[in-house]
Structure 1
Amino acid sequence: MDKLFQSKWFIRVISLVFAVTLYLFVTVETDTAQNESRVIPGISNEVQVLEDVPLDIRIDADQYVVSGVPEHVKVSLEGKTSVLTPIVRQRNFSVFVDLRDLGEGEHTVEIEYENIPEELTAYIEPKTIDVNIEKRAAKEFNVSVDLVNTDSLPIGYELGEPEISPGTVTIISSESVIEQIAMVKVFVDVTDLKESIRNREVPISVYDIQGNDLNVRVEPASVTVSVPVERPSKTVPLTIKTKGELPEGLKLEKLEAEQEIEVFGKREILSQIKEITTKEIDLSKIEKSDMYEIDLDFPEGIIANDDMVEVNILLSETKLFEDIPIEQEGDNSGNLTITKPKEPLVNIIARGSDTDIGALKKEDIKAIIDIGALDEGEHKIELVVNGPDNVTLEPEFKNVTVKVE
């Protein structure tokens, strides 16, 4: 190894390699620095890109209108930070196209700027635009109101006739564009609307016959719209519907509910409504007198303040009480025997409200015959049945035969 480093040729080759490497390194660094300087020339320079800068139009607006001018352009500003920053923040410069010296027809024009300091370089995209200058024309049009989503209006509500102010507007554009105008409208969304719209400001839209939006100048640009919202109503009879049979022993005495009900809907639908019915009450599921909430059965497009109605269902019940003892009342010195019935017992049918019958007990019922002052012999005595005043008691027979000896 020591001999290798002592060789003159080895040292020369190593020196050449180092020289070539150093040359390539310097060349690449130089090219890179030059490329970077093309983007940002000068170490202290900065570039700011401003999107959507408004583009002004300078034209004799009393004589001409122009099309083809974009609303915004992109502006890139380059320069020292100390100069650039205030301009970017304040945006007190203008970007415009000057069409004042041009007549009717198609032109390619350059986008210009002003109030940008000389220390800054401005790049505008696009640099030029194609415009079409035409004679100015103006015409009055009636404005119509288009109510949107009327099928989403709540049931029971109805829209009145919209009012618009002003009813006409002036549209300014070229004669060729004005000839294309087919509709001048404002749109009002009435989804879930329950209260009237009063003097709502709405922008105006202009369309051609195919429904394409036309970019024109409208004076005024908006109108005020009022839309009355009404809730027509009608009071109609309420009918209670039932189905099925009550459980055995129960009888329907009465169905009580409101006799009339107020319903809401569009007038054309209300005019056809003669009554409102409940959904059918299944009597087979009714086991006692009570107040029941029953769903109402509304025709399509009709509604009321409540979806249900309270129905008071009153039931009566019949119940047989068997083997009620026949009791004797009064004094008799003779030997008294009941000959009919064979046993001193009677079956009694009790009738009354299901509540009263449910509370009635066997011991509450008394069957009595008066045996006082009976002579010897056979007698038919009326059987008297006593019980609570709110029930009706009916014995299976009315008389009892007794024999006095």
Structure 2
Amino acid sequence: MDKLFQSKWFIRIISLALAITLYLFVTVETDEADDSRIPTGSSNEVQVIDEMPLGIKIDSENYVVSGVPEHVKVTLEGRTSVITPIVRQQNFNVFVDLRDLTEGEHTVEVEYENIPENVTVYIEPKTIDVIIEKRMAKEFQVQVELINEDQLPLGYELGVPVVEPQTVTLISSEAIIEQVALVKVFIDVKDLTESIRNRELPVNVYDIQGNDLNVRVEPETVMVSLQVDRPSKLVPLKVRTTGELPDDLELEAIEAPEEIEIFGKRAILNEITEVQTEEIDLSKITKSDTIEVDIDFPEGTTADKETVKVTLKLNKRKIFNDVSIPNQLANGTTYDILTPENAKVDVEAFGSDLVIDRLQKSDIRAIVNLSNTTSGTHEVDLTIEGPRGITLESEPKKITISIP
């Protein structure tokens, strides 16, 4: 036996057996621990709801409370088949029960209901510090604040906001109600061109520093209407000019709309008697034309168009030199032209520049009037004829003739 214990092979076999036994023991323990963490229908599981709404049970007719958080953290432990539907449906309640407490500071426990007894529940925080105070209710007028009024489109004007209801009831502790300085709703009028009809807006409550106050508001929203107008006025339009036309041109007429409709606030429109165009530089005008001219709007006004069409009608003067004077009438009567000696005159044509620019010397005729004249020397009128719509004058206007 002693030899057996002293044998190296015996010691090696015993060591190997012990090692195998130890390995099997550790493996089994590990597997059991792992099996306990695998969520199956019959195993335990832990699930967490980070933000579970916290309810309040209180005599709300007489008291208000502060210090209660909106949410708490709830941890549920139990069989997977039990807690999974609880977490999914969240058909249980977490609350603080203040119904048996009076005014003052209290530390209360967060409770729950509608959770099966075989589920372990952990709530954080487990307790909370609250302050219970006497309830106070007071009516306040709702104000309307218009924001971005400076970005209201030009020409538009806002009416007086109409609020329904005009007052709301604020409910909180007396200390909080006494801090109330402003109860208002906001309307952003940036780029507003249409009236607002019964827009539902939330009521905001602030202290004198403009800090939000957490109070109960009844009702929480009000209906607001706001009339948006675009006042207008018809005023005379005056076309302004500067400079002078070239010497051969004359301004016959300026045609433009007699009136223009402008938009702006009523107080501004009431002071306006006319609207002018930007100046037209006549020195740059060379022919009759219709041009777009900018309107010089009085400050605070506008129109549907920023320009207006203005038609400039010009007359033009043109001299035709050496227009021949005939020495024979249509009936064959002849006469001698004594003056001018060359039997020619200069003719000035005056009329629309569009006509004058197309006028040729060949279009002009000089006619001698010999009615009631007899033989001898006479000074007679010279008539100049041409296309209709122009004025023709000769220089000289009279000539001297001799009738045989």
Q: TM-score range by the shorter chain?
A: 0.7 to 0.9
Cα contact 1:201–1:225 (8 A) shared by 2: yes
Letter in 1 for 2:262: V
Judged with a 3 Å threshold, the aligned counterparts in structure 2 of structure 1 residues 62 and 367 are, in CA distance, closer, same or farther, namely: same
Q: Which amino acid aligns with 2:221?
A: S
1:22-68 deviations in Å (ceiling 9; x for gaps): 989x9899799969978989995544443432211111112210111
Q: Distance in 2 between matches of 1:70 and 1:256?
A: 76
Secondary structure at 2:88's aligned position in 1?
A: helix
User: Which runs of 5 or more structure 2 residues have no equivalent in the other structure?
Assistant: 1-6
- Cα 1:404–1:306 shift into 2, 3 Å: same
Q: Determine the C-alpha separation between the residues in 1 that align with 2:346 and 2:364.
A: 11
Question: Structure 1: which amino acid aligns with 2:399?
Answer: V
- CA 1:371–1:147 in structure 2 vs 1: closer, same or farther (change >3 Å)? closer
1:155 alignment partner in structure 2: 154
> What secondary structure does 1:102 align onto?
coil
**Match of residue 4 from structure 1:** none
Alignment check: 8 A CA contact 2:41 2:81 kept = no
* Residue identity matched to 1:249: D
Change (3 A) 1:331 1:264: closer
1:45-194 → structure 2 map (5 Å cutoff): 45-194=44-193
SS of residue paired to 2:83: helix
Alignment of 1:382-401 (within 5 A): 382-401=381-400
Residue deviations 1:110-133 (CA, integer Å, cap 9, x gap): 322222234444443333322211
Shift of 1:377: 5.4
SS of residue in 2 equivalent to 1:181: coil
**In structure 2, C-alpha distance between the alignment counterparts of 1:132 and 1:35, rounded to whole Å:** 48
CA-based RMSD: 3.7
Question: Which residue of structure 2 lines up, in the alignment, with residue 274 of structure 1?
Answer: 273
> Contact conserved, 2:42 with 2:79, CA < 8 A, in 1?
no
1:298 Cα deviation from its structure 2 partner: 1.0
Unaligned 5+ residue runs, structure 1? 1-7
Are the counterparts in 1 of residues 328 and 334 from structure 2 also a CA contact under 8 Å?
Answer: no
- The one-letter code sitting in structure 1 at the alignment partner of 2:57 is R
User: Secondary structure of the equivalent of 1:328?
Assistant: coil
Amino acid at match of 1:274: T
- In structure 2, the CA distance between the partners of 1:397 and 1:90, relative to structure 1 (3 Å rule), is same
CA contact under 8 A between 1:332 and 1:372: conserved in structure 2? no
Contact 2:42 2:81 in 1 (8 A): no
Stretch moving more, 160-169 or 61-70 = 160-169
* Alpha-carbon distance in 2 for matches of 1:367, 1:117: 126
Partner residue in 2 for 1:283: 282
Aligned partners of 1:187 and 1:333: how far apart in 2? 98
Instruction: Tell me, in whole angstroms, the C-alpha distance in 2 between the residues paired with 1:128 and 1:343.
Output: 129
More displaced stretch, 122-131 vs 218-227: 122-131
Partner SS, residue 223 of structure 2? strand
Q: For 2:126, give the aligned amino acid.
A: K
- How far apart in 2 are the matches of 1:32 and 1:180? 64
In structure 2, distance between residues paired with 1:215 and 1:57 = 16
One-letter amino acid matched to 2:84: T
Partner of 1:239: 238
**Distance in 2 between the 1:327 and 1:126 partners?**
125
Could you say if the C-alpha distance between residues 39 and 214 of structure 1 is closer, same or farther in structure 2, counting changes exceeding 3 Å?
Answer: farther
Offset at residue 193 of structure 1 (A): 2.1
Normalized against structure 2, the TM-score is what?
0.84
Distance 1:388 1:333, change over 3 A: closer
Rounded to whole Å, the distance in 2 between the matches of 1:160 and 1:62 is 40
Amino acid at match of 2:350: R
Question: 1:273-312 maps to which residues of 2 (within 5 A)?
Answer: 273-312=272-311
Deviation at 1:173, TM superposition (A): 0.5
- Aligned residue identity for 2:157: E
The Cα shift of 1:75 comes to: 3.1
Q: 1:368 to 1:316 in 2, by over 3 A?
A: same
- Change beyond 3 A, Cα 1:183–1:80: same
Aligned length: 398
In structure 2, distance between residues paired with 1:333 and 1:318: 34
- Contact 1:334–1:376 under 8 Å retained in 2: no
Residue equivalent to 1:351:
350
For 2:137, the aligned partner's letter is A
Structure 1, residues 356-402: CA drift from partner, whole Å, max 9, x if none?
21232222111233579987754434322110120001112112334
**2: CA distance, partners of 1:183 / 1:283:** 62
Letter in 1 for 2:244: E
Q: Which amino acid aligns with 1:60?
A: D
What amino acid maps onto 2:135 in structure 1? R
Separation in structure 2 between the aligned mates of residue 253 and residue 268 of structure 1, nearest angstrom: 38
Query: Match for 2:366: what amino acid?
Result: A
Instruction: Say whether the 8 Å CA contact 1:330–1:372 is kept in structure 2.
Output: no
Identity of aligned residues (%): 56
TM-score w.r.t. structure 1 length? 0.84
Quote the Cα distance in structure 2 between the aligned partners of 1:339 and 1:204. 105
* Alpha-carbon offset, residue 260 of structure 1: 2.3
> Judging changes above 3 Å, is the alpha-carbon distance between structure 1 residues 290 and 27 closer, same or farther for their aligned structure 2 residues?
farther
Say whether residues 1:213 and 2:246 are aligned partners.
no
Give 2:4's aligned residue: none
Indicate if the aligned counterparts of 2:289 and 2:311 stay in contact, CA closer than 8 A: yes
Distance in 1 between residues matched to 2:370 and 2:34, nearest whole Å: 139
**Alpha carbons of structure 1 residues 263 and 334: separation in structure 2 relative to 1, 3 Å:** closer
